[in-house]
Structure 1
């Protein structure tokens, strides 16, 4: 979810003055068929031991522009832009929640969903990460579907479940959701368990033309 607003460009320019460190180049973006992307996922048993949501610091204001991660997603995904007030207080605007094919007026009815929930990420490898990498994951604005604005109802129905346990209710959402889920796991080198992989394989049979694009971090 690369920001192209004047505010974000200005913040990026300031960050480069002076250039005091060498920034490592991003890894090359990958494009795979959904089938091949699912097969590329490493498989391992899930381990929940030690998980606490507070171990993923989220909704930070990384670029110090007054808007935290939640509001950055809302601004980026609005179908009708909201009004931005002091301290990035948002009002008005409309959004499309693709999980349930609903149009939402105003930001209060929306949650920002971590495509792969924080607990699922922990189970799938994030338990071994540094606190800084977990924070980066929880506030990932570098990929369009790591974070997605959806109705609060569907986000809370999903909770921390993987596709073996929950899928979006909208019929047209299935292939997009599978691609987004797989891309997020590949982007962050997260694993899948056997039931999850089997479900992904099974559901993907109806998504022959779906591709998965991701950039490893």
Structure 2
């Protein structure tokens, strides 16, 4: 992850519309403080060398003692950053690059065992013994998979997509456009969190497309609580924004979860 040290962590930050608000571009490594003073508690240290550009959304347009108030990425908290270390923008950043799927290279064989990310997920999520197409076990031929989105069971991997729970385009427009090519590739093939990628019905995944929870929820209502918990964790862990509509839908669902 980017070099940011959070001393307090909550689960949600809401943005009116990702990339289309007043925000600051951090120009050099600096601290964000609890109050508009260097003598105040240090909440985070941000380093723009590891994300270009490094953006923080303004919580308030007015300066206090030379400090701007900003929303902290990945935390439900505000802090103060000194004006000399930032540049203020309104609207879309001039360096914004529109989404292309090719920016997020996948699927890759990261560990060199001949199984790419898709095959790794199919093997991991299988509910029965896996049959392979070849002696080297590079590609899956058959097994049984229960799709959490529909609740249906599939036996042919051709009927399955490996879904990015937070879709690539959604992630891109929520802040991933600032990432390096290597970080984009890491996100697209991430296996360290087992819910980041899921084997699901291909047809259902096409219906989902790049939609957030405010525009799409799986037809399997029993999975709704788990789905938004996964969505929220990924957004938090990767420091991605949520729109107001997205956040409101997540909150609405979680209020009815145990």
Partner of 1:15: none
Partner of 1:82: 130
1:51 to 99, 105, 108: 99
**In the alignment, is residue 177 of structure 1 matched against residue 233 of structure 2?**
no
Within 5 Å, give how 1:19-168 maps onto structure 2: 37=11, 40-41=12-13, 43=15, 45-47=17-19, 49-84=97-132, 85=134, 86=136, 88-168=138-218
1:188 to 238, 245, 250: 238
TM-score normalised over the length of structure 2: 0.64
Structure with larger Rg? 2
Structure of greater relative contact order (alpha carbons < 8 Å, 6+ residues apart): 1
1:161 deviates by 0.2
More strand by share: 2
**3-state SS in 1 of match to 2:193:** coil
When residues 203 and 67 of structure 1 are mapped into structure 2, their CA distance, relative to the original with a 3 A threshold, is same
1:149-186 Cα deviation digits (max 9, x unpaired) = 00001111100000000000011010010111111111
Cα distance in structure 2, aligned partners of 1:66 and 1:93: 19
1:82 deviates by 1.5
Cα distance in structure 1, aligned partners of 2:16 and 2:165: 19
Kept in 1, the 8 Å contact 2:14–2:247? The answer is no
Partner of 2:59: none
Kept in 2, the 8 Å contact 1:44–1:191? The answer is no
TM-score normalised over the length of structure 1: 0.75
Aligned residues: 175
Unpaired runs of 5+ residues, structure 2, are: 20-95
Kept in 2, the 8 Å contact 1:117–1:159? The answer is yes
1:43 deviates by 2.9
Unpaired runs of 5+ residues, structure 1, are: 1-23, 210-217
More helix by share: 1
Partner of 1:19: none
1:110 deviates by 0.4
Partner of 1:215: none
Cα distance in structure 1, aligned partners of 2:16 and 2:122: 34
